[in-house]
Structure 1
């Protein structure tokens, strides 16, 4: 009895061990889900600076916070929009703080080469188009429709425009559809680039002050619209794809929700500046206020940023990465 009982007990125990071993063989080790990148020191942050004051306003505020709150060494590089993308892809620039569309560059650098990433919205609404001065609309109400522009082309002629009306442009690096629009809408105009955003603004300012005709390319957000309320001309409405072929464009400019672009390695590095930039989000009015400090009040970027930041702590504190 004792011997057979012991044998039965041993058999049961052995079966249990085998069962447990079988279960153990079925258990796979758990792999932890990837978490956020480990935080690192900021070191050097390189920001592209494109040639319009609204972009400079973004740079002023982000740069000041990066230096004062994250202990970054900030390098600001003056570049055109296209140069910014190329240097960002090459790792020579960490971020573009205000991107207007550029679907072709996104396709190349974000989707195909995967060296850049979309890095959040700025909160700004971008509107590009043709504008005229307010006094001109009061004098000639029909001028706000593109269908009537040829009737008023004579107002914008100059001694060197070859009998055509002059449509003002800004910086040569700005990507525009103006020449194609003039050609495809059969308008009796020619484009004259002023050379910079500042000169374009001054041309509109003098035209309004002296009641001289002026029509040209312009955009929002732009602080100058709070000084002279330029009137947007109605071109044929924008529809998705109507500007797909630059040579055949015959529609208004696309409205934009402006975004930020980052070098992929920088965005995934754990650098606290990458998180600050991703969180950066404000309004057209905010940007215009800082741009006005820079342009009208002639403050430095740091001075303009500090003035705005001191008045709006409830906005920018949410941009900072947690300690």
Structure 2
């Protein structure tokens, strides 16, 4: 057969992949952690797929949100794409202080995680969203299992958040009940909302829920680092955590050896940046429309090629 001088598509792809792999510093797998909520899996998959396109070998590893720092310190895990200022800052700071973990900067997303209630609960608990209203109407949030105590539905216990400590410090007549999974948390919200049943729960942004449901975050005493660390600070001079949760960036962190072994990947991860609005829209497609994470990520990559190509430079 006569050679036309035009390489086949398969050959072009193979040549391009070979060239990309020749440029990366190591073909050992970069182990990026995934957790149990859709947004984090989306964030991680975006970064992982960008690195794959650059020729890196990527391995996604399911890991506990806080316990993952043990693996990051030893180098058994390499990258965590979402450490929330609201719940992960203490663990992140401790890990960085060891010298075995480094921050790769902000992700572009700003975290809010706090107690949230649907607006119809204001009819039975006047004074909301001020936290002190909860002192007078805890029973309005009770269930058969917790009565007369109110029921606060927290996130999975692995998320942290100090909700039990907050209840005790603020002397609230609430029992903290943890949802088993992120999906279970929002399934219970949907069920309660449709029935206008009592509920107060952990809600967070970026996420689709604050846009879908009419409600408000509880206004606790403002967060300060001293509130968490010094019992004498705050409205209860005998207890720490007598304030709301912090808000702030969602951070990217890595094993300290990442930049030496895979400097190009470390730079690309540092350059990663998405907004709350972008992430909320992608979470909606996965959680509300039932689209696969890979499909949603693929659509985002196609629409933002120039942008993520810039992360690799």
Distance 1:314 1:306 in 2: 14
Match of 1:109 in 2: 95
- Aligned counterpart in structure 2 of residue 212 of structure 1, from 197, 219, 232: 197
1:124-173 deviation digits (Å, cap 9, x = unpaired): 11112110013323665522111111222222212221411101112120
Instruction: Name whichever of 180-189 and 130-139 sits farther off.
Output: 130-139
- Aligned counterpart in structure 2 of residue 144 of structure 1, from 121, 124, 129: 129
Higher Rg of the two aligned structures:
1
Q: State the shift of 1:307 in Å.
A: 1.1
Describe the shift of the 1:107–1:63 C-alpha distance in structure 2 as closer, same or farther (beyond 3 A).
closer
Describe the shift of the 1:132–1:103 C-alpha distance in structure 2 as closer, same or farther (beyond 3 A).
closer
Q: Is the 8 A contact 1:117 1:263 kept in 2?
A: yes
For the pair 1:119 / 2:142, whether they are aligned, the reply is no
Match of 1:301 in 2: 293
- Aligned counterpart in structure 1 of residue 58 of structure 2, from 51, 62, 74: 74
Q: Is the 8 A contact 2:24 2:56 kept in 1?
A: no
Distance 2:27 2:212 in 1: 39
For the pair 1:168 / 2:147, whether they are aligned, the reply is no
Match of 2:17 in 1: none
Secondary structure, aligned partner of 1:243: helix
Q: Is the 8 A contact 1:41 1:272 kept in 2?
A: no
Q: State the shift of 1:109 in Å.
A: 2.9
Match of 2:74 in 1: 90
Q: State the shift of 1:245 in Å.
A: 5.1
1:242-271 deviation digits (Å, cap 9, x = unpaired): 112586210010112111101111123244
Distance 2:305 2:124 in 1: 45
Distance 2:282 2:159 in 1: 22
Secondary structure, aligned partner of 1:142: coil
Match of 1:262 in 2: 254
Distance 2:285 2:67 in 1: 27
1:44-77 deviation digits (Å, cap 9, x = unpaired): 221011222221120121122122x212222111
For the pair 1:273 / 2:265, whether they are aligned, the reply is yes
Q: Is the 8 A contact 1:42 1:70 kept in 2?
A: no
Q: State the shift of 1:95 in Å.
A: 0.4
Distance 2:208 2:92 in 1: 28
Instruction: Name whichever of 167-176 and 306-315 sits farther off.
Output: 306-315
Q: State the shift of 1:284 in Å.
A: 0.7
- Where does structure 1 lack aligned partners over 5 or more consecutive residues? 1-37
Q: State the shift of 1:42 in Å.
A: 4.9
Q: Which runs of 4+ in 1 moved over 6 A?
A: none
Q: Is the 8 A contact 1:235 1:252 kept in 2?
A: yes
- Where does structure 2 lack aligned partners over 5 or more consecutive residues? 1-22, 232-238
Q: C-alpha root-mean-square deviation of aligned residues, in Å? A: 2.1
Q: State the shift of 1:223 in Å.
A: 2.2
Q: State the shift of 1:43 in Å.
A: 4.2
Distance 2:198 2:92 in 1: 39
Q: Structure 1-normalised TM-score?
A: 0.81
- Aligned counterpart in structure 2 of residue 285 of structure 1, from 252, 261, 277: 277
